[in-house]
């Protein structure tokens, strides 16, 4: 059994940025676990592009040195917008090597708490006792598979996060369900891989980003107007973007206002650069699936307009539903002690849960601090807020 002041679970953008900031606190012992950028590498498709803009794609660094600009310069390879996923993964790993060369890649099997603090058990059985634990485990555990597809095996229907390489679908008929970026980009990549995709969208229109109004505001009104209307964090439309960039302010708004602003800021939408790539892909708007039945090694799908098709596979671009009790590494007693609302932990300042000393970063923090926390650009806020909280001391365990 070893000890540490803080254990950080996760080496994605949130865990990396948090550890890098915590290292600024003199004498604080921090141990961080996880495979760097594993979600980006193992649950997002090859050939994907990031939707966030340049400033919003920077992982927070307290010294402002581990930037995309310096990554480019050091690696001698020009980066362009939209940023391709493989380059972003390289950037994240470069960040990790510079800031956390001592990262421990072992998996955490269990986190429990008792009167002495937190006990973290690693996959190989080693245990660490700490005063604080910071969870930055991302959304991988929350992939949402709607119940109407429960009867289908994963060979016939799978969540978009289950696929990295689409080549195996060449020549196959595939239905992509959903009108957000994951479903639309999967359909484009499927088509480009030789598959025959069709997209089914429940709503009557697709929200394409960077439309005429947004383009005008971004490019024609000049730097000053742009910086007044849009924060560098790039979450939310003109004006609202500034509020989304300030989670401490947003936190104090009445719940119905917060919920409306969140919905407006992160509604399902597709990047404009997908429009051309989807020109040859049929998109059925205002339609939903009413039944699915296994038909040999294919699946028969009936839509609400009565039409039927038999396809080889269904891609569920149905997003993620946060529910922290699904984090398998949380001991049941600890999971039950975290106050939640609809699966989201209720967080205080410093992203601290109702269990003193237990912090949760990233998308689970959206209910308390707004949608900024589901994007890379939220690492600036969470790392600083966490570091302030831990540096201030006070009750933990
Ligand atoms: C298809 C898709 C496209 C996206 N595009 C963008 C975009 O363009 N821009 C943007 O800002 N955001 C985008 N996002 C959101 C993006 O996922 C988050 O911004 C980001 O990954 C959150 O980082 P994180 O550190 O919280 O989690 P992750 O990046 O998921 O990292 C989780 C870390 O936890 C580790 N871990 C998990 N369990 C354990 C365990 N038991 N023990 C040890 N380690 C563990 C993992 O190994 C990993 O290191 C996209 C999401 C999806 C699904």
Query: Tens of pLDDT along 159-178?
Result: 999 999 999 999 999 999 99
Residue 366 Cβ contacting ligand 1 at under 6 Å: no
The three state secondary structure string of 363-389 is: HHHHHHHCHHHHCHHHHHHHHHHHHHH
pLDDT at 222: 78
**Whether pLDDT at 81 is above 70:** yes
Residue 77 pLDDT level (bands cut at 50, 70, 90) = confident
DSSP state of 125: S
Residue 10 Cβ contacting ligand 1 at under 6 Å: yes
| Alpha carbon of 81 to ligand 1 centroid (Å) | 20
On the 0-12 / 13-18 / 19+ scale of CB atoms within 10 A, 199 is: buried
**Whether pLDDT at 292 is above 80:** yes
Q: How far is C-alpha 185 from the geometric centre of its chain's CA atoms? A: 16
The three state secondary structure string of 11-57 is: CCHHHHHHHHHHCCCCCCCEEEECCCCHHHHHCCCCCCECCCCCHHH
Ligand 1 site-directed mutation target among 7, 10, 21, most atoms within 8 Å of CB:
10
Residue 183 Cβ contacting ligand 1 at under 6 Å: no
Poorest-confidence range of 150-159, 177-186, 215-224? 215-224
Q: Which two tokens stand for residue 362?
A: 């990233």
| Type and span of the H or E element at 84 | none
Q: Which two tokens stand for residue 206?
A: 């697709």
Q: For the chain, give the percent of residues with pLDDT over 70.
A: 96
Please compute, for residue 261, the number of CA atoms within 13 A of its CA located in the half-sphere on the CB side. Answer: 27
Q: 297-330, pLDDT tens digit by residue?
A: 999 999 999 999 999 999 999 999 999 999 999 9
Residue 362 Cβ contacting ligand 1 at under 6 Å: yes
Report the 10 Å Cβ neighbour count for 153: 9
Poorest-confidence range of 13-22, 27-36, 60-69, 218-227? 218-227
Q: Which two tokens stand for residue 35?
A: 């495979």
Task: Please give the model's pTM, rounded to 2 decimal places.
Answer: 0.96
**How confident is the model over 140-169, as a mean pLDDT?**
96
pLDDT at 219: 67
DSSP state of 59: P
Ligand 1 site-directed mutation target among 39, 118, 124, most atoms within 8 Å of CB:
39
Cα gap 149→289, rounded to integer Å: 10
Asked whether 292 and 314 are in contact (CB, 8 A), the reply is yes
Cα gap 363→262, rounded to integer Å: 13
Residue 76 pLDDT level (bands cut at 50, 70, 90) = confident
Find all residues with CB under 8 Å of 9, minimum gap 6, and list them.
15, 33, 34, 108, 111, 120, 133, 134, 135, 136, 137, 329
| Alpha carbon of 157 to ligand 1 centroid (Å) | 23
Asked whether 328 and 199 are in contact (CB, 8 A), the reply is no
β-pairing, 2-9 with 127-135? parallel
Ligand 1 site-directed mutation target among 104, 138, 162, 244, most atoms within 8 Å of CB:
138
Residue 34 Cβ contacting ligand 1 at under 6 Å: yes
Report in angstroms the alpha-carbon separations of 246 from 222, 231, 241, 371.
23, 9, 9, 11
**Whether pLDDT at 218 is above 70:** no
The closest alpha carbon to 359, from 333, 320, 324, 322, belongs to 324
Ligand 1 atom at shortest distance from the alpha carbon of 44: 1
Report in angstroms the alpha-carbon separations of 321 from 141, 143, 324.
9, 7, 10
Match 């707004």 to its residue by tokens: 370
Q: 346-397, pLDDT tens digit by residue?
A: 999 999 999 999 999 999 999 999 999 999 999 999 999 999 999 998 666 5
Nearest CA to ligand 1 atom 15: 375
pLDDT at 45: 95
Beta strands in the chain (DSSP E): 2-9, 30-33, 108-114, 117-122, 127-135, 157-159, 173-177, 196-201, 283-285, 289-295, 298-303, 308-311, 313-316, 340-341, 344-345, 358-360
**Whether pLDDT at 189 is above 90:** yes
Burial pattern 252-275, b for ≥16 Cβ within 10 A else e, equals eeeeeebeebbeebbebbbbebbe
**How confident is the model over 181-189, as a mean pLDDT?**
97
Find all residues with CB under 8 Å of 252, minimum gap 6, and list them.
none
Give the residue, 116 or 4, on which the prediction is more confident: 4
């Amino acid at each position: 059994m070893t000890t540490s002041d803080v254990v950080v679970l996760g080496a994605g953008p949130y865990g990396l940025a948090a550890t890098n900031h915590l290292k600024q606190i003199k004498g604080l012992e921090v141990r961080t676990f996880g495979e760097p950028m594993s979600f980006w590498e193992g649950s997002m498709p090859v050939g994907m592009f990031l939707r966030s803009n340049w400033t919003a794609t920077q992982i927070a660094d307290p010294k402002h040195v581990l930037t995309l600009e310096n990554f480019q310069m050091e690696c001698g390879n020009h980066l362009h917008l939209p940023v391709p996923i493989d380059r972003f993964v390289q950037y994240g790993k470069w960040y990790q090597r510079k800031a956390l060369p001592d990262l421990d890649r072992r998996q955490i099997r269990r986190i429990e708490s008792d009167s002495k603090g937190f006990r973290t058990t690693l996959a190989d059985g080693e245990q660490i006792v700490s005063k604080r634990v910071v969870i930055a485990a991302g959304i991988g555990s929350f992939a949402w598979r709607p119940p109407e597809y429960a009867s289908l095996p994963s060979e016939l229907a799978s969540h978009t996060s289950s696929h990295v390489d689409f080549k195996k679908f060449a020549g196959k008929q595939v239905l992509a369900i959903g009108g957000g970026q994951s479903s639309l980009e999967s359909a484009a990549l499927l088509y480009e891989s030789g598959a025959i995709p069709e997209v089914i969208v429940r709503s009557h229109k697709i929200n394409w980003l960077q439309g005429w109004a947004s383009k005008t505001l971004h490019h024609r009104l000049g730097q000053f107007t742009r910086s007044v209307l849009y924060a560098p964090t790039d979450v939310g439309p003109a004006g609202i973007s500034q509020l989304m960039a300030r989670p401490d302010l947003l936190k104090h708004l009445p719940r119905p206002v917060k919920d409306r602003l969140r919905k407006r800021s992160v509604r399902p939408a597709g990047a404009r650069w997908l429009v051309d790539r989807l020109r040859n892909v049929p998109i059925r708007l205002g339609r939903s699936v009413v039944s699915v039945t296994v038909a040999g090694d294919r699946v028969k799908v009936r839509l609400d307009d009565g039409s039927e098709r038999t396809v080889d596979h269904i891609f569920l671009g149905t997003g993620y539903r946060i529910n922290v009790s699904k984090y398998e590494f949380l001991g049941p007693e600890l999971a039950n002690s975290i106050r939640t609302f609809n699966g989201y932990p209720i967080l205080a300042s410093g992203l601290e849960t109702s269990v003193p000393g237990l912090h949760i970063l990233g998308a689970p923090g959206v209910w308390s601090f707004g949608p900024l926390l589901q994007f890379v650009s939220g690492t600036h806020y969470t790392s600083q807020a966490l570091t302030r909280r831990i540096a201030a001391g006070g009750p933990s365990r």
